[in-house]
Amino acid sequence: MGYRKEQEQVEKRLLSQVAMRSIHSKGRVVEEAPCEFRTEFQRDRDRIVHSKAFRRLAQKTQVFILPEGDHYRTRLTHTLEVSQIARTIARALRLNEDLTEAIALGHDLGHTPFGHTGEHSLQELTNGEFVHNKQSLRVVNILENHGQGLNLTFEVRDGILNHPTKGKPSTVEGKVVQLADKIAYINHDIDDAIRGKVLQIADIPKEYVDVLGKTQSERVNTLISNIVMQSKDKNEIVMSQEVKATFYALRAFLFDKVYIGSSAKEQEDKAKQVVYKLYEYYIGHFDKLPPSYIERLKMGDSEKQIVCDYIAGMTDRYAIHQYMDLFFPRSWQVY
C-alpha cells in the first residue's frame, strides 16, 4: 500500500462522520492521475503555497495602509493566522485538516492592494461586479500558472468562494474557515489598533471582556473552545448564544472605532485615488498592459475584467510604483 493510500485509510478510520474525506472529493475540472504521496487536498494546499498570488500577499494591506513598523499584519500574516485557528478547530472536531488548511491559505488570494479600500474602489468602478472572494476563485481557476489555473478540487474552490459571511460552504471544513477568518481579523485588528494607538485596552467594553477575555490569546482560546464544544459531531460550526452575541457585538464595535474613520485609516482617500487612476489609465490605454493580460481577450474576457485582474494582483508597493511612474514627472538630462 502506497503512502497516499495509507493517508486515505487514516482519514477513513479517524475522521468524524461529518468530515470530508479526500477519496470522496468531487474532483478537479481537469482530471489528473493521483499523487503517490499526497492526498488530493494536500496537493491543493501545496499548489496554493507555491503560487505567485500567495507570495504577493506579504506586500498587501490587511487593515492599516502603509503603517510604520514591522509588526502590523499583512494579508499574508492574516492568512496564516486564519489557517492556524481553522486547523486547531478542525483537529479538535476530527475534520479534514488538509482541506481546512487549503481553503484557509487560498481564501484571500484575490484581494486587492490596500485591503478593503482597494476592493471597494474596484467595486465602485465596476458597478459592484468586483468581489474579492470571486476574484480569489478566478485566481486559482484561471490566472495562476500562466493562465492555466491551479486545477484545485471542487471542495477547496467551494470553500474559497463561500468564505464571506453570506457564503454557504458545502463542507464543514469550509464553514470552519468562514468563522476562523472572523476570529482572526477581529482579534489581530484589536492588537494592531492598540499598537497604533487607535484603541486602548480600556476602550473595549467591559461586557465583551468579561465574556471573551482581555487579551488576544484569551479571546481566541474562548472562541475556539466554545466552537469545539458546541459543534462536536454537527454539520454546522456554531457558538453558544452568549459567546456569539458578544463576538458580533465586538465586531460591530471595531467597525465603529477602527474600520471606519479612525486615524489609522486616514490614508484611504490617497489609496483610493491610486486605484481609480490606474483603472482609468489602463481602460483608456489597454495596449499598455503586459502582453499576457492582453492575450486574455482571446479567451473571451472583457477589457474591464482584465484591468481588474491586473490591478487586483498588484501589491501595495507595485501599485504605488505604477501610479508614480504614470502620473509623476520624471527627471531628465541632456548630454
Q: Is residue 115 part of a domain?
A: yes
* Same domain membership, residue 274 and residue 246: no
* Same domain membership, residue 276 and residue 157: no
- Among the three residues 247, 264, 281, which one is the final residue of a domain in this structure? 264
Residue 240 clears pLDDT 90, i.e. is over it: yes
Summarised one tens digit per residue, pLDDT across range 311-333 is 999 999 999 999 999 999 877 66
**pLDDT confidence of residue 335:** 65
**pLDDT confidence of residue 17:** 96
Q: How confident is the model at residue 263 (pLDDT cuts 50, 70, 90)?
A: low
Q: What is the arithmetic mean of pLDDT over 303-307?
A: 97
Residue 82 clears pLDDT 80, i.e. is over it: yes
Summarised one tens digit per residue, pLDDT across range 92-103 is 999 999 999 999
Q: What percent of the chain has pLDDT over 90?
A: 84
Lowest mean pLDDT across 66-75, 115-124, 289-298? 66-75
Q: Is residue 307 part of a domain?
A: yes
Q: Is residue 117 part of a domain?
A: yes
**pLDDT confidence of residue 256:** 87
Q: What is the arithmetic mean of pLDDT over 123-135?
A: 96
Q: Is residue 161 part of a domain?
A: yes
**pLDDT confidence of residue 329:** 85
More confident: 107 or 189: 107
The burial of 59, by beta-carbon neighbours within 10 Å (0-12 exposed, 13-18 middle, 19 or more buried), is given as: middle
* Same domain membership, residue 187 and residue 319: no
Segments forming the whole domain that contains residue 37: 3-264
- Among the three residues 264, 285, 315, which one is the final residue of a domain in this structure? 264
**pLDDT confidence of residue 319:** 97
| Mean pLDDT rounded to a whole number for the chain | 94
**pLDDT confidence of residue 195:** 87
Q: What is the arithmetic mean of pLDDT over 253-273?
A: 80
Contacts by 82-91 with C-beta closer than 8 Å and gap 24+?
A: 82/107, 82/177, 82/180, 82/181, 82/184, 85/180, 85/183, 85/184, 85/220, 85/224, 86/176, 86/177, 86/180, 88/224, 89/176, 89/179, 89/180, 89/224, 89/227, 89/228, 89/231, 89/237, 90/173, 90/176
Residue 118 clears pLDDT 90, i.e. is over it: yes
Number of domains within the chain: 2
Q: How confident is the model at residue 261 (pLDDT cuts 50, 70, 90)?
A: low
pTM of the model: 0.95
**pLDDT confidence of residue 264:** 58
Summarised one tens digit per residue, pLDDT across range 149-178 is 999 999 999 999 999 999 999 999 999 999
Residue 241 clears pLDDT 70, i.e. is over it: yes
For 157-170, b where at least 16 C-beta lie within 10 A, e where not — what string? bbbbbbbeeebebe
Q: What is the arithmetic mean of pLDDT over 115-138?
A: 96
- Among the three residues 220, 241, 264, which one is the final residue of a domain in this structure? 264
Q: How confident is the model at residue 65 (pLDDT cuts 50, 70, 90)?
A: confident
Summarised one tens digit per residue, pLDDT across range 189-236 is 999 888 888 888 999 999 999 999 999 999 999 999 999 999 999 999
- What is the distance between the alpha carbons of residues 159 and 103, in angstroms, rounded to a whole number? 6
Summarised one tens digit per residue, pLDDT across range 25-59 is 999 999 999 999 999 999 999 999 999 999 999 99
- Provide the CATH number for the domain around residue 233: 1.10.3210.10
Q: What is the arithmetic mean of pLDDT over 97-124?
A: 96
**pLDDT confidence of residue 136:** 98
Q: Is residue 274 part of a domain?
A: yes
Q: What is the arithmetic mean of pLDDT over 59-86?
A: 89
